[in-house]
Amino acid sequence: MSVNKKALITGVTGQDGSYLAEFLLEKGYEVHGIKRRASLFNTERLDHIYQDPHEENPKFFLHYGDLTDSSNLTRILKEVEPDEVYNLGAQSHVAVSFDSPEYTADVDAIGTLRLLEAIRFLGLEKKTKFYQASTSELYGLVQEIPQKESTPFYPRSPYAVAKMYAYWITVNYRESYGIYACNGILFNHESPRRGETFVTRKITRAIANIALGLEPCLYLGNMDALRDWGHAKDYVRMQWMMLQQDKPEDFVIATGKQISVREFVRMAAIELGIELEFQGSGANEVGIVKSVSGNLAPEVSAGQEIVKVDPRYFRPAEVETLLGDPTRAKEKLGWTPEISVEEMCKEMVLSDLERAKRHALLKDHGYDVTVSRES
């Protein structure tokens, strides 16, 4: 199928970028992605859709670039003249934004401005539609439960403050220059491709490693935090739908259900037959194995402490609770999430178990396997 459309994705090497590239290629788009230069290969999430530029009629192209580099962004936009730009690139880790606030602002806030300004400078206002990856972190210290499009923002991190600038500059370029530009205010979404240092993936990866004796214990920060977790595949479909309307509009994308970090740990462990009991509170809370059933966790036994709190992972300012109201997306776009948090958690645990099995196999054959646990 060919729709004769071109899309440009920033952040194509990330979780959402890889699913969106796949989705658009299936729809027949010519897809261009911006990747950063790195000292190691950074296209692991894209390798299965990579097309050699020497092939006949390639539909997928990667360009070196960076959201901190205006001339580079302008040149790529000029070369590609995309029908749709999806700005997914960001320093996307909330905790890291407290360590690198200035860089986060440069990429997440000014990077968005750079792209919009390049569209204007090149006279692409009437051709190029623009999607901005906005976030539930904008609600931060929540002013209303559940959060919808009209809920006031109260950002609680350098990341969220930078994303708030990006949100408003997107609205401003829509109102000032008539660009079809819109914000998807997406609540947390995960998958087996989620970065290893976000909490869901950190949990599924550690539980799988612990089950096979590759790692002794999972250390977490605030386990009381409540999140509205969906699946990235459902959410990238919505990103595309937002650019297919007659008029640009901003939408909240969420499932409308929330659970705590602790509940997610419990859910992940149960997938491998490990029943957990939590004892203590705050920095002294521990997760102890109550029972083990089945044969997926051969290295775990009752009484073992496999979850502990490490205050190092507490944030200077925390977002305690997020719960989205996706009514507008449901009513206006007919969007509903198809994958539940339980199904997603299972998919992530099983995928990480496969990875852990490969490591365990290498270890059993005498190879020195170090499981990276930096998070």
Q: Known catalytic residues? A: 135, 137, 159
Q: How far apart are CA 173 and CA 246, in angstroms?
A: 17
198 sits near ligand GDR (criterion: CB under 6 A): yes
Range in contact with ligand GDR (rule: CB under 6 A) among 39-47, 50-58, 129-137, 270-278: 129-137
The DSSP line for 15-32 is HHHHHHHHHHHHTT-EEE
Candidates 17, 89, 158, 221; binder of ligand GDR (CB under 6 A) is 221
Range in contact with ligand GDR (rule: CB under 6 A) among 29-37, 81-89, 132-140, 170-178: 132-140
Size of the residue set binding ligand GDR (CB under 6 A): 22
CA dihedral 363, 366, 367, 370 (to 10 degrees): 50
Q: What is the Cα Rg of the chain in Å?
A: 21
> Phi and psi dihedrals of 235, rounded to 5?
-80, -30
Cross-strand partners of 135: 186
Candidates 183, 188, 209, 258; binder of ligand GDR (CB under 6 A) is 188
Task: Between 174 and 194, name the residue whose CB sits nearer to ligand NDP.
Answer: 194
220 sits near ligand GDR (criterion: CB under 6 A): yes
CA nearest neighbour of 207 among 365, 343, 346: 346
Q: How far apart are CA 250 and CA 45, in angstroms?
A: 28
Candidates 222, 239, 255, 321; binder of ligand GDR (CB under 6 A) is 222
Cβ proximity of 265 and 287 under 8 Å: yes
Task: Between 221 and 248, name the residue whose CB sits nearer to ligand GDR.
Answer: 221
146 sits near ligand GDR (criterion: CB under 6 A): no
Task: Between 159 and 180, name the residue whose CB sits nearer to ligand NDP.
Answer: 159
CA nearest neighbour of 359 among 374, 338, 344, 373: 373
Q: How far apart are CA 43 and CA 12, in angstroms?
A: 9
Residues that bind ligand NDP (CB under 6 A): 10-11, 13-17, 34, 36, 38, 42, 66-68, 88-92, 107, 133, 135, 186, 188-189, 195
Q: Which residues bind ligand GDR (CB under 6 A)?
A: 92, 94-95, 135-137, 187-188, 197-199, 202, 220-222, 225, 227, 261, 313, 315, 318-319
